[in-house]
Amino acid sequence: MKRNLLNYQYEELVEQFGILGLERYRVDQVYDWVFKKKVFDFSAMTNLSKEHRRLLSENFDVLIPKLLDMQVSAIDKTTKFLWELSDGKTIESVLLFHPDRVTACISTQVGCPVKCVFCATGQSGYDRNLSAGEIVAQVLAMELHRKVNIGNIVFMGMGEPLLNYEEVVKSVRILHNPKGKGISMRRITISTVGIPEKIVQLAHDLPEVKLAISLHAPTNYKRDQLVPLNKKYSVEEIIHAVKEYQRITKNRVTFEYVLIREFNDFADDAEKLAELLRGIGAYVNLIPINPVQSTGSIILERPQHWALERFKEILEKHNVECEIRREKGTDIDAACGQLRRRHLLNAGKVERKV
């Protein structure tokens, strides 16, 4: 049975190639074709002998997802991809263009089991974890289709990365390897709703990778209503884990805070958030909520502009560094999960809520 070459770290491939009688430098040659030239067919790797190409073709595949849909923003070039995996499951990825860099926002699960009330991904259900190779392949596929060089990666697409911990860590190491993509660890961010024990483990396994916490509320009462997993891992447990993470890594931590009108955008919320983050090297991204159909009792509307500014001013008064995130891709289905959900609705694979 063929194996996905992208599921292997470099040294693992050296071992696998050795079993086939291939020298170490053959891995370098294949890596150059796959990661630099975006050639995924062994028969086209012309600096390998015909016998070696045949041998690799019989034992490995380089599985790149099939492009089902691609939306490109006319405003800022933000590009949203819908991919089909080898088993027919679908996932999303996003390319974000900045003046000095291109960032890939990639998925780690098919769907998401966390089911945050404001996230379209959770509304379409959860199927399975992605393999390390399926995570890595998103980066290669985006570079292929948009002819770009991705220099930054955020694990902030579909799924909760820390619930697929081993494959996420493996994919980071594959993407970091200088013989492959060679992306600096400090240009990789893992975003999580907060799995305390995995946050601490991440500090030991990948201390240079950046951490972002999707917090969205400063109290358990409000966060319970937004993030169901908070009933298992409280705000206090997450903050304790973040402090331990910082003790080990000395890294500043980003906190994502989706603002919802007249729910978590009050002055009191800002005061409590500032108190919660006291003593933490923190940076807060304030995110006006993306329009998405509500699945609960909370009315998911964007805050008024003055409420956003008030929230920011209160945090800054308490010396909490923050910014109101400038939106990208507002003219396309840029919010995570929207493109996939529309595809599944059209295929009749998820229930249409009225």
The annotation places the binding site at 112, 116, 119, 159-160, 191, 214-216, 290
How far is residue 325 CA from its own chain's centroid?
A: 17
Q: Which of 333, 300, 284, 262 is nearest to 118 (CA)?
A: 300
Binding residues for S-adenosyl-L-methionine: 159-160, 191, 214-216, 290
Tell me the CA distances in angstroms from 64 to 45, 133, 345, one per residue in order. Answer: 16, 9, 25
Separation of alpha carbons 184 and 189, rounded Å: 11
> Is 275 a catalytic site residue?
no
Q: Which of 210, 330, 315 is nearest to 273 (CA)?
A: 315
Q: Which of 113, 125, 337, 128 is nearest to 228 (CA)?
A: 113
The DSSP output letter for 326 is P
> Is 105 a catalytic site residue?
no
- Identified catalytic residue from 23, 58, 92, 327: 92
Separation of alpha carbons 71 and 54, rounded Å: 37
Binding residues for [4Fe-4S] cluster: 112, 116, 119
Separation of alpha carbons 306 and 118, rounded Å: 22
- Identified catalytic residue from 271, 309, 336, 351: 336
Q: Which of 243, 42, 37 is nearest to 144 (CA)?
A: 37
Contacts of 250 by beta carbon, 8 Å cutoff, 6+ apart: none
Residues annotated as part of the active site: 92, 336
